[in-house]
């Protein structure tokens, strides 16, 4: 058999110990000068490439490293600079780049949203009527030449394809997509031609939008676009890469004028594999076989992976097959070798980015040699068998999907009257989303506790002092519904995972969320079960400090699922209902302790919806059911809140209504009021807060800006049902800017109330 090649599609950029994140924040904070920043970033890029080279894979990806986000890189490279940054366009390129990412005075940051159904956020490209893309710079050429010059690596440059880039952009009117895709073609041809001239043999062009709903006429568009690109760059080979699901119209897509196509055989539900079984594979094309899960953290099952290769081998020649991950390894931690704590059986089943590269090489060699045995693959079999036999996976708990009878409450209007009589809130009540700034003293106390420098009692004393300070501050600011601040929480999912059975925690399992923001997702390895009270003591203490209502704060079952690495032997619905039942125990504990407002956040509800809308109903039915299960059994007077951010809410408004929360707070600032327009067509019947400012930007908007947002919201939401709040939690903001922004927010709410009173409303 000919040698079976292997490829990486992308690799984490953050470094084993988040060196990338720390360097960025040091530069932004003025602690590292520009020259040192760029030099150290280069060292991180090269260290990353050395690891990829030493892994033994044949195709090393280059150009996927970025200073913030790859979609932002493409926008800048194509000269698609939003007009509000025109004042910076003639100034420094790096300053402009970071201004688009983080905002600048008078210029809000680019909109941010989730990359398909992953937990990574990208910056949304913006088009205007006058947008005319051209190749302003070629970062992929720079990356290719650097790898070749510094390390002798002839890498495979990675670009996001024109179809996906345009599909994920904003400002493209209905019917204009094809024109915008065609407008991008000259820039792509120039970039690819320059790469070919520099010696690139293969170029990877990512088109994950092909796994979404693709209209039939778009296939013709793709045929024309890739025909143009290939005709202009005949000397280089193009690998069209898809991931995250089965490809729409695969029978036609596999005939596109490219040299190879990469398919996901992990999250395709078997559809991609079945299509090749039924109709074969073009003899002139390479197949990139994504058989190692690029998004999960478990070792690959050798039997399943080799079985897929065996089936593919019936239709694809060995020299036309590349063994690769299902997607970029951006979505998993860097290396499991740093894991040394926690249950050894669970961590023994881990495979992070580095381990997955080794698995690719081992699988390719085993299949090439016609064997299923190798030391690494045998280790995988043993580790996975031990995990499946773990007592934590074999508890006597229900994972049944379905709501209990306890979920029934009175209709919202009846509840609203009862709750208003109880809380006596003013019109346009103000609140925050939950978390307040976690300053250096809190982080230092957490480190001191971990190192044994202080005991648990002292740590809790520090947390309570901070809670007391912020209860007083919230009262001084005039906020109507308070929060305790969540100072005890490192992360809104990780915190609760520590307090439930069925979770494992990594020591260094960091992944990038957005920009320099990294998270360390917990691992759901077993059955999820409630233990002791999780939030009652903190909530009761905060409520004892004030006569104003204090919200109890929990993370909802869908978000607990979505923002974790979860087991793969149960369906997502079964896991979500296990979590919901565990959370419901805490909800009822809070109510019994006198906490009359309880917020169960579900920012992830939309983001893990299937990529094909035909599958949404089934998903939303069980997702909404899990949320309702989590708050089932509460009294009508208890006000249930929830929160969502950074998604296309208008697409799921019926599901949001079906959740039947008394109040939902939604992000609207980076979407620039798109939700307001959606609410004109489809009004929301319950209480709603449309975020009045973007907490992810360090820029503090003034009172007038927030008042304008409130006025806009009042055009679609009656004043008796509208709340005023920031977009998201304030954990990552500094205290001065948080206080300044909240002061402006409450002043804006007060002015809006005066306007309502003057209008007799």
Could you list the beta-strand ranges (E) of 253-361: 260-264, 286-292, 321-325
User: Do residues 574 and 399 touch, judged by C-beta distance below 8 A?
Assistant: yes
User: Do residues 696 and 733 touch, judged by C-beta distance below 8 A?
Assistant: no
Annotated binding residue 20:
yes
Catalytic annotation on 504?
no
Annotated binding residue 140:
no
Annotated binding residue 636:
no
Annotated binding residue 34:
no
In order of 298, 304, 333, 341, the CA distances from 352 in angstroms are 8, 19, 5, 16
Residue 47, classed as helix, strand or coil, is helix
Annotated binding residue 290:
no
Annotated binding residue 567:
no
Annotated binding residue 643:
yes
Annotated binding residue 230:
no
User: Do residues 652 and 675 touch, judged by C-beta distance below 8 A?
Assistant: no
Annotated binding residue 667:
yes
Residue 238 backbone dihedrals phi, psi, to 5 degrees: -110, 125
Annotated binding residue 728:
yes
Strands 597-601 and 565-566: unpaired
User: Do residues 475 and 546 touch, judged by C-beta distance below 8 A?
Assistant: yes
* Distance (Å, whole) CA 670 – CA 738: 18
Residue 33 buriedness (CB in 10 A; 0-12 / 13-18 / 19+): exposed
Residue 50 backbone dihedrals phi, psi, to 5 degrees: -60, -40
Kindly tell me the sign of the dihedral angle through the C-alpha atoms of 502, 505, 511, 512: positive
Annotated binding residue 121:
no
Annotated binding residue 327:
no
Of 499, 497, 496, 473, nearest to 484 by C-alpha is 473
Annotated binding residue 686:
no
In order of 74, 214, 327, 745, the CA distances from 261 in angstroms are 22, 17, 13, 51
Annotated binding residue 517:
yes
Selecting among 121, 218, 331, 696, the annotated active-site residue is: 696
Annotated binding residue 311:
no
Annotated binding residue 205:
no
Annotated binding residue 435:
yes
User: Do residues 609 and 573 touch, judged by C-beta distance below 8 A?
Assistant: no
Q: Who's near 97: CB < 8 A, 6+ residues apart?
A: 67, 68, 72, 76
Annotated binding residue 725:
no
* Distance (Å, whole) CA 366 – CA 313: 13
Annotated binding residue 142:
no
In order of 71, 116, 117, 441, 611, the CA distances from 213 in angstroms are 21, 12, 14, 49, 7
Residues with a catalytic annotation lie at 696
- Binding residue positions: 18-21, 114, 119, 433-435, 486, 517-518, 563, 601, 607, 643, 645, 667, 728
- Binding residue positions for L-homocysteine: 433-435, 486, 601
- Binding residue positions for L-methionine: 433-435, 486, 601
- Binding residue positions for Zn(2+): 643, 645, 667, 728
């Amino acid at each position: 058999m000919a040698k079976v090649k292997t490829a990486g599609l992308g690799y984490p950029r953050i470094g084993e110990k988040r060196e990338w994140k720390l360097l960025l924040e040091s530069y932004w904070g003025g602690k590292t000068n520009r020259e040192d920043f760029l030099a150290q970033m280069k060292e991180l890029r090269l260290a990353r490439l050395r690891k990829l080279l030493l892994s033994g894979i044949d195709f090393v990806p280059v150009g996927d490293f970025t200073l913030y986000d790859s979609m932002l890189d493409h926008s800048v490279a194509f000269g698609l600079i939003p007009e509000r940054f025109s004042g910076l366009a003639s100034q420094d390129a790096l300053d402009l780049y970071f201004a688009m990412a983080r905002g600048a005075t008078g210029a809000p940051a680019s909109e941010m949203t989730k990359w398909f159904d992953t937990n990574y956020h990208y910056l949304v490209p913006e088009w205007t009527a006058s947008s005319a893309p051209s190749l302003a710079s070629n970062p992929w050429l720079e990356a290719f030449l650097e790898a070749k010059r510094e390390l002798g690596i002839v890498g495979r440059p990675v670009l996001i394809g024109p179809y996906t880039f345009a599909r994920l952009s904003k400002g493209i009117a209905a019917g204009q997509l094809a024109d915008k895709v065609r407008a991008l073609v000259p820039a792509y041809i120039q970039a690819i031609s320059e790469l070919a001239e520099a010696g690139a043999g293969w170029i990877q062009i990512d088109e994950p939008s092909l796994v979404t709903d693709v209209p039939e006429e778009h296939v013709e568009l793709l045929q024309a676009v890739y025909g143009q690109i290939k005709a202009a760059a005949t000397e280089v080979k193009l690998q069209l890469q898809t991931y995250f699901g089965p490809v729409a119209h695969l029978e036609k897509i596999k005939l596109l004028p490219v040299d190879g196509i990469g398919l996901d055989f992990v999250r395709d539900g078997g559809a991609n594999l079945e299509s090749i079984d039924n109709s074969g594979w073009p003899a002139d094309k390479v197949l990139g076989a994504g058989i190692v899960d690029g998004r999960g953290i478990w070792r690959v099952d050798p039997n399943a992976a080799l079985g897929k290769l065996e089936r593919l081998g019936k239709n694809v020649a060995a020299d036309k097959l590349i063994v690769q991950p299902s997607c970029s390894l951006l979505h998993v931690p860097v290396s499991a070798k740093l894991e040394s704590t926690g249950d050894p059986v669970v961590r023994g089943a881990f495979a992070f980015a580095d381990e997955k590269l080794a698995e690719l090489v081992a699988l390719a060699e085993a299949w090439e040699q016609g064997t299923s045995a190798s030391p690494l693959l045998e280790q995988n079999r043993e580790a996975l068998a031990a995990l499946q036999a773990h007592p934590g996976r074999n508890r006597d708990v229900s994972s049944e999907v379905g709501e209990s009878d306890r979920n029934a409450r009175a209709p919202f209007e009846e509840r609203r009257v009862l709750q208003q009589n109880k809380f006596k809130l003013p019109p346009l009540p103000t609140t925050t989303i939950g978390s307040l700034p976690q300053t250096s003293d809190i982080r230092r106390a957490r480190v001191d506790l971990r190192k044994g420098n202080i005991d648990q009692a002292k740590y809790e004393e520090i947390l309570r002092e901070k809670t007391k300070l912020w209860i007083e501050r919230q009262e001084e600011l005039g906020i109507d519904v308070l929060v305790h601040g969540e100072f005890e929480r490192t992360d809104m999912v990780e915190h609760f995972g520590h307090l439930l059975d069925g979770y494992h925690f990594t020591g260094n399992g960091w992944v990038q969320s957005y920009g320099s923001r990294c998270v360390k997702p917990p691992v759901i390895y077993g059955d999820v079960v409630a233990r002791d009270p999780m939030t009652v003591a903190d909530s009761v203490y905060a409520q004892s400090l004030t006569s104003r209502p204090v919200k109890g704060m929990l993370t909802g079952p869908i978000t607990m699922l979505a923002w974790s690495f979860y087991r793969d032997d149960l369906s997502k619905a079964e896991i979500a209902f296990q979590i919901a039942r565990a959370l419901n125990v805490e909800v009822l504990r809070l109510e019994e302790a006198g906490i009359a407002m309880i917020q169960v956040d579900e920012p992830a509800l939309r983001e893990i919806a299937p990529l094909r809308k035909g599958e949404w109903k089934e998903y939303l039915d069980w997702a909404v059911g899990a949320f309702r299960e989590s708050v089932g059994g509460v009294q009508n007077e208890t006000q249930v809140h929830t929160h969502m951010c950074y998604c296309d809410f208008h697409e799921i408004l019926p599901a949001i209504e079906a959740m039947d929360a008394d109040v939902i707070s939604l992000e609207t600032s980076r979407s620039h009021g798109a939700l307001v327009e959606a609410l004109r067509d489809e009004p929301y019947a319950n209480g709603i807060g449309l975020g009045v400012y973007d907490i992810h930007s360090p820029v503090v908007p003034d009172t007038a800006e927030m008042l304008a947002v409130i006025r806009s919201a009042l055009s679609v939401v009656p004043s008796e049902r509208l709340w005023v709040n920031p977009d998201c939690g304030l954990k990552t903001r500094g205290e001065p800017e948080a206080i300044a922004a909240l002061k402006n927010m409450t002043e804006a709410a007060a002015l809006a109330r005066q306007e309502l009173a003057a209008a007799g409303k």
